[in-house]
């Protein structure tokens, strides 16, 4: 069965995620409205100086196709309306953006539409990856609302960190697409990859007053045991 996957963001996280899922024969739609800038090249290693000024979504899709995959780039800013348009036949949605409001928007859209999803974030020396699926606690159950945390563009990120976090996100996405729910509803948090490569695995119960879960077609309250942090 072909998995149709929507990747939001074609930057440092989106690059390795797209290459891994494209190689695994997912049919990719890659959404990003940005163009390649010289300040991106240290961490967005799918691009070279030849790509400067080019739209990232189109260039990354081109690189996936050049490697034998199937991908199309959509040069547009992601929004729930765009997701309704692009996501009608999508099985899996992966957030690789650099914007907290986009991450919550992607998670909320996935929960409301009963899709599996992965939310990846990297900043400075670490990052985290959330694996979402119908019937378990959602991204908003844990984080509640976007904070005004700085973005990579503002606070910086160590180049290899986005590769490592992107690889974890791709691995969890492949697992979810194959029906592996080992980490469904869990957050893998990497505090500082210079010091420790093992994640803290944070599992949590669905939140009773979560507005996203209230709209979910499959309730996370049906059969979820309460679980707390595994090795925090």
Please list every residue from 140 through 159 that binds Zn ion, using CB under 5 A: 140-141
Measured distance CA(10)–CA(160) in Å, rounded = 16
Stretch that binds Zn ion, among 34-42, 112-120, 136-144, 161-169 (CB under 5 A): 136-144
Tell me the window of 51-59, 62-70, 139-147, 194-202 that interacts with Zn ion (CB under 5 A): 139-147
User: Is the Cβ of residue 60 or residue 119 nearer to Zn ion in the bound state?
Assistant: 119
- Check residue 210 for interaction with Zn ion (CB under 5 A): yes
Window of 81-89, 96-104, 131-139, 145-153 that interacts with Zn ion by CB under 5 A: 131-139
Size of the site for Zn ion (CB under 5 A): 6
Min dist. Cβ of residue 56 to Zn ion (A): 30
Helix (H) or strand (E) holding 161: helix 159-177
Tokens of 38: 């010289």
Could you identify the residue written with the tokens 């996203």?
Answer: 212
Which range of residues in 32-40, 44-52, 67-75, 212-220 is near Zn ion by CB under 5 A?
A: 212-220
Q: What is the SS3 assignment for 15?
A: helix
Q: Which is nearer to Zn ion, 30 or 133 (CB)?
A: 133
3-state helix, strand, coil in the chain (%, to 5): 35, 20, 45
Strands (DSSP E) found in 82-197: 92-95, 116-123, 126-132, 186-190
Instruction: Establish if 138 lies at the interface with Zn ion (CB under 5 A).
Output: yes
Q: Which is nearer to Zn ion, 125 or 204 (CB)?
A: 204
The count of C-alpha atoms lying within 13 angstroms of the C-alpha of 83, restricted to the half-sphere facing its C-beta, is 26
Q: Kindly state whether residue 213 participates in binding Zn ion, applying the rule CB under 5 A.
A: yes
Q: 158 vs 212, which CB is nearer to Zn ion?
A: 212
Rounded CA-CA distance 198/183 in Å is: 15
Give CA–CA dist 25/21, Å, rounded: 6
Please report the sign of the dihedral spanned by the C-alpha atoms of residue 211, residue 213, residue 219, residue 223: negative
187 forms part of the interface with Zn ion (CB under 5 A) = no
Q: Are 154 and 4 in contact (CB under 8 A)?
A: no
In this structure, the strands spanning 186-190 and 126-132 are antiparallel
Q: Is 119 in the site for Zn ion (CB under 5 A)?
A: no
Q: Could you tell me the smallest distance in angstroms from the CB atom of residue 139 to Zn ion? A: 7
Binding of Zn ion by 212 (CB under 5 A): yes
CB of 210 to Zn ion, least distance (A): 3
Q: Judged by CB under 5 A, does residue 18 bind Zn ion?
A: no
Footprint of Zn ion (CB under 5 A)? 138, 140-141, 210, 212-213
């Amino acid at each position: 069965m072909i998995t149709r996957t929507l990747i939001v963001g074609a930057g440092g996280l989106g690059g390795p995620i797209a290459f891994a899922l494209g190689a695994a024969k997912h049919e990719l739609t890659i959404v990003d409205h940005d163009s390649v800038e010289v300040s991106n090249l240290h961490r967005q290693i799918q691009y070279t100086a030849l790509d400067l000024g080019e739209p990232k979504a189109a260039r990354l899709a081109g690189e996936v196709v050049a490697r034998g995959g199937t991908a199309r780039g959509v040069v547009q800013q992601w929004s729930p309306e765009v997701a309704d348009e692009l996501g009608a036949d999508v099985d899996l949605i992966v957030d690789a953006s650099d914007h907290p409001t986009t991450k919550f928007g992607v998670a909320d859209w996935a929960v409301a539409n009963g899709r599996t999803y992965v939310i990846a974030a990297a900043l400075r020396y670490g990052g985290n990856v959330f694996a979402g699926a119908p019937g378990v606690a959602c991204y908003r159950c844990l984080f509640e609302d976007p904070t005004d945390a700085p973005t990579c563009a503002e606070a910086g990120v160590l180049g290899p960190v986005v590769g490592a976090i992107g690889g974890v996100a791709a691995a969890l996405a492949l697992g979810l697409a194959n029906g592996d729910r080992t980490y469904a509803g869990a957050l893998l948090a990497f505090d500082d990859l210079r010091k420790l490569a093992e994640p803290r695995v944070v599992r949590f119960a669905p939140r009773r007053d979560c507005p996203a879960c209230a709209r979910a077609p499959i309730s996370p309250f049906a059969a979820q045991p309460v679980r707390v942090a595994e090795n925090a």
